[in-house]
């Protein structure tokens, strides 16, 4: 029994590589955290990983997807992908596209989307995957038109012409080559994607490939654009290849070919850079999950997980809430899900403690070497990973240690420590935005993340750091007391649970704290809703008496947050400043005495 337990422990510990973290003091109370271990060598260009596996494992499955009207999975091997990527790259090279005339991709994750991205890498032409919400959810297409104006693309791709007909017909699209996977009668001059697969001039491709190096722009990724047009983050090959090498130095389980079942959009940095990067680096297989973490769409994810056992699973906390319920009630699904699983990874928000406990217990019930609960922290501008949780049995909220090659500087900023980063994975700046680029870096060349972090154990940096909110979202009450909005919001989300989708903490220069409450789509909005919210708020206030922690008033929002007004990002997160600006009448009502719409816990 003891020997078996030791083998199980050894198997778990083998997922991690111990990294020594040192703290270097700087002037003004700042300090830098870094790993002693140097970053290992990495390729000059991201597509080098693809062609390694074309040579070493051509028959291995690379990507798989569900297609409308078809049963099972459609897939492509590394060998097949290599041939198609070279043909597409030749077609791109023939068109004279460049960073000044890049490729914009409007549609979501598909095999063809990834092949076009890789072809852009080979030909030295950046692709720009755009959030599908900017095309299909937005009513005015304001952000999409702003992006097109900024990039001036030479090619626009959409998988389904009919679905994307409206955005493809915008005036901003005129004079650009439109490429579609499925034709549309309204776009008779669009180029079929199949035409690109016929290839182009070998000499043009050879000339284009010769120009590609570590500093070549691989893609443009866009910030959430909470205010105004999203900024175009320049993403070079060096950023992609260095970051793809960093995570495995802390997580050696990534050195074996991985199997992912993943929906995270490639228009966002984690799905498009991290997850695809690890698949390419390790020669793994990615099953494109056609589900989403929403009640109506999540059954597709459960169907996929019932067929494919992932080696690591990446998702957002909302998905894990839905998944935990399914795993508890479906033994076959539970066994399939945990059969090969090393890691349960969450990102985008802190995982509530009850979910952490539930998922951990389920993992332990299915394996002597239960999956490790892990997270990481980074941004679009850091491609993405700066820190990773580096051990089994960590705690919710700990976002880990800086990876080899990264320097993490913590700078006093009011009551918080602002995080700044430097390394080969950091963007050189924002496309055609010199002002934003200049302000993004400090005097020592560190990128200003805008996030606040705190040490888990001040005397031991190797224990990791915790996320401590956004520096710009904290504010002072009229008493001069600082309000740490991240902590208040986290408590509100925990207390109100399934009643709400999110909250905004109000408001600077007021006497006390309030909340704008956005109801959950699943919540039953009858006469019992407001009393249930009020009861939850009173429970939330228990044990908190200070004005910076206790909720004094709240208002339930009848209108959902607007994407077009910048109240909500394409990721679904709220922008505090935009909400307060566009709902200033409701804010005045919230603080205007005993209005009947105001809940007073």
Closest residue by Cα to residue 491 from 469, 470, 476: 469
In the prediction, which pLDDT does 227 show?
53
**Does 56 score more than 80 pLDDT?**
yes
In the prediction, which pLDDT does 228 show?
60
**Does 170 score more than 90 pLDDT?**
yes
Neighbours of 269 (CB within 10 A): 26
Q: Which of the 8 DSSP states describes residue 351?
A: P
Share of the chain above pLDDT 70, in %: 97
In the prediction, which pLDDT does 73 show?
98
**Does 4 score more than 50 pLDDT?**
no
Q: Which residues contact 176 (CB under 8 A, 6 or more apart)?
A: 153, 154, 155, 156
**Does 88 score more than 50 pLDDT?**
yes
CA 383 to each of CA 223, 268, 286, 287, 592: distance values in angstroms, whole numbers, following the listed order: 12, 10, 19, 22, 45
Read off the pLDDT of residues 296-351 as tens digits, 9 standing for 90 and up: 899 999 999 999 999 999 998 888 989 999 999 999 999 999 999 999 998 756 67
Cα 269 from Cα 384, distance rounded (Å): 6
Q: Which residue has the tokens 């190797």?
A: 462
Do residues 140 and 94 lie in contact, with contact meaning Cβ atoms separated by under 8 Å? no
Bond preceding residue 378 cis, omega within 30 of 0? no
Cα 256 from Cα 496, distance rounded (Å): 41
**Does 5 score more than 70 pLDDT?**
no
> Helix 317-329 and helix 331-338: axis angle, to 10°?
120
Domains of the chain: 60-212 (3.40.50.980), 474-599 (3.30.300.30)
Strands lying side by side in the sheet with 259-262: 74-77, 61-65, 285-288, 259-262
Report the DSSP beta bridge partners of residue 236. 217
Dihedral sign (CA 335, 339, 342, 348): negative
CA dihedral 377, 380, 381, 386 (to 10 degrees): 20
Cα 102 from Cα 152, distance rounded (Å): 7
**Does 29 score more than 90 pLDDT?**
yes
Q: Which residue has the tokens 């679905």?
A: 163
Task: Specify the 3-state DSSP secondary structure of 374.
Answer: strand
Do residues 476 and 547 lie in contact, with contact meaning Cβ atoms separated by under 8 Å? no
Closest residue by Cα to residue 334 from 357, 312, 364: 364
Name the phi and psi angles at 260, rounded to 5: -110, 140
Token pair of 199, please? Answer: 């290839």
Read off the pLDDT of residues 498-549 as tens digits, 9 standing for 90 and up: 899 899 999 888 999 999 999 987 788 899 999 999 999 999 999 998 889 9
The pTM of this model reads 0.89
> Across residues 478-489, what is the average pLDDT?
87
Residue 457: exposure state from Cβ atoms within 10 A (0-12, 13-18, ≥19):
exposed
Angle value at C-alpha 183, between 180 and 188, nearest 5 degrees: 100
In the prediction, which pLDDT does 348 show?
58
Dihedral sign (CA 494, 495, 497, 501): negative
Task: Specify the 3-state DSSP secondary structure of 585.
Answer: helix
Secondary structure (DSSP) of 12-28 = HHTT-----EEEEE-GG
Do residues 285 and 62 lie in contact, with contact meaning Cβ atoms separated by under 8 Å? yes
Cα 243 from Cα 275, distance rounded (Å): 11
Read off the pLDDT of residues 348-382 as tens digits, 9 standing for 90 and up: 566 777 788 899 999 999 998 999 999 999 999 99
- Average pLDDT of the chain, as a whole number: 93
Task: Specify the 3-state DSSP secondary structure of 87.
Answer: helix
**Does 291 score more than 70 pLDDT?**
yes
> Across residues 402-408, what is the average pLDDT?
99
Read off the pLDDT of residues 430-456 as tens digits, 9 standing for 90 and up: 999 999 999 999 999 999 999 999 999
Bond preceding residue 507 cis, omega within 30 of 0? yes
Token pair of 423, please? Answer: 């390394």
In the prediction, which pLDDT does 2 show?
45
Token pair of 288, please? Answer: 């494109």
What is the rounded end-to-end Cα distance, in angstroms, of the chain? 54
Confidence grade of residue 226 (pLDDT, cut at 50, 70, 90): low
**Does 396 score more than 90 pLDDT?**
no
Residue 216: enclosing H or E segment and its boundaries? none
In the prediction, which pLDDT does 438 show?
97
In the prediction, which pLDDT does 479 show?
80
Confidence grade of residue 1 (pLDDT, cut at 50, 70, 90): very low
Q: At CB < 8 A and 24+ separation, what contacts does 12-16 make?
A: 12/369, 12/370, 12/372, 12/392, 13/392, 14/252, 14/253, 15/251, 15/252, 15/253, 15/342, 15/343, 15/372, 15/392, 16/250, 16/251, 16/252, 16/372, 16/390, 16/391, 16/392
**Does 486 score more than 90 pLDDT?**
no
């Amino acid at each position: 029994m003891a020997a078996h337990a030791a083998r199980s422990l050894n198997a778990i510990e083998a997922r991690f590589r111990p990294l020594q973290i040192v703290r270097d003091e700087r002037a003004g109370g700042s300090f830098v955290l870094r790993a002693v271990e140097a970053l290992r060598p990495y390729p000059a260009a991201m597509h080098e990983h693809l062609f390694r596996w074309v040579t070493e494992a051509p028959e291995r499955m690379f990507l798989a997807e569900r297609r409308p009207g078809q049963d099972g999975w459609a897939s492509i091997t590394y060998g097949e992908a290599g041939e198609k990527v070279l043909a597409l790259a030749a077609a791109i090279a023939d068109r004279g596209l460049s960073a000044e005339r890049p490729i914009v991709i409007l549609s979501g994750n598909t095999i063809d989307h990834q092949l076009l991205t890789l072809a852009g890498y080979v030909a030295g032409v950046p692709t720009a995957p755009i959030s599908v919400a900017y095309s299909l959810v937005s009513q005015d297409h304001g952000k999409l038109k702003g992006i097109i104006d900024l990039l001036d693309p030479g090619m626009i791709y959409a998988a389904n012409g009919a679905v994307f007909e409206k955005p493809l017909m915008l005036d901003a699209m005129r004079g650009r080559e439109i490429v579609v996977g499925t034709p549309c009668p309204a776009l008779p001059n669009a180029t079929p994607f199949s035409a690109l697969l016929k290839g182009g001039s070998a000499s043009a491709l050879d000339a284009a490939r010769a120009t590609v190096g570590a500093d070549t722009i691989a893609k443009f990724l866009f910030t959430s654009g909470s205010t105004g047009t999203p900024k175009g983050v320049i993403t070079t090959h060096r950023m992609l290849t260095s970051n793809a090498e960093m995570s495995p130095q802390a997580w050696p389980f990534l050195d074996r070919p991985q199997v992912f079942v993943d929906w995270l959009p490639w228009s966002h940095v984690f799905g498009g850079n991290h997850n695809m990067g690890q698949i390419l680096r390790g020669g793994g297989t990615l099953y494109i999950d056609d589900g989403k973490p929403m009640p109506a769409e999540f059954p597709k994810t459960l169907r996929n997980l019932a067929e494919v056992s992932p080696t690591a699973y990446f998702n957002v906390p909302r998905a894990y809430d839905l998944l935990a319920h399914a795993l508890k009630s479906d033994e076959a699904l539970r066994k399939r899900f945990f059969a090969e699983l090393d890691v349960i990874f969450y990102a985008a928000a802190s995982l509530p403690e009850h979910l952490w406990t539930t998922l951990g217990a389920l993992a332990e019930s299915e394996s002597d070497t239960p999956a490790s609960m892990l997270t990481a922290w980074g941004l679009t501008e850091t491609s993405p990973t700066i820190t990773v949780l580096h051990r089994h049995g960590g705690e919710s909220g700990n976002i880990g240690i800086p990876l080899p090659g990264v320097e993490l500087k913590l700078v006093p900023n009011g009551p918080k420590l602002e995080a700044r980063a430097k390394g080969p994975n950091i963007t050189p700046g924002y496309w055609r935005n010199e002002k934003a680029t200049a302000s993004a870096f400090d005097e020592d060349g560190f990128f200003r993340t805008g996030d606040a972090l705190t040490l888990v154990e001040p005397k031991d940096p190797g224990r990791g750091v915790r996320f401590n909110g956004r520096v710009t979202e904290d504010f002072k009450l009229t008493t001069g007391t600082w309000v740490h909005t991240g902590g208040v919001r986290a408590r509100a989300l925990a207390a109100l649970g399934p009643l709400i989708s999110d909250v905004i903490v109000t408001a600077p220069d007021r006497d006390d704290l309030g909340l704008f409450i956005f109801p959950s789509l699943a919540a039953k909005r009858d006469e019992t809703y407001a009393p249930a919210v009020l009861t939850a708020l009173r429970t939330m206030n228990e044990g908190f008496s200070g004005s910076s922690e206790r909720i004094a008033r709240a208002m339930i929002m009848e209108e959902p947050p607007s994407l077009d007004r910048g109240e909500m990002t394409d990721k679904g997160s709220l922008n505090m400043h935009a909400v307060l600006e566009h709902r200033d009448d409701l804010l005045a009502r919230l603080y205007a005495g005993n209005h009947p719409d105001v809940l007073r816990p």
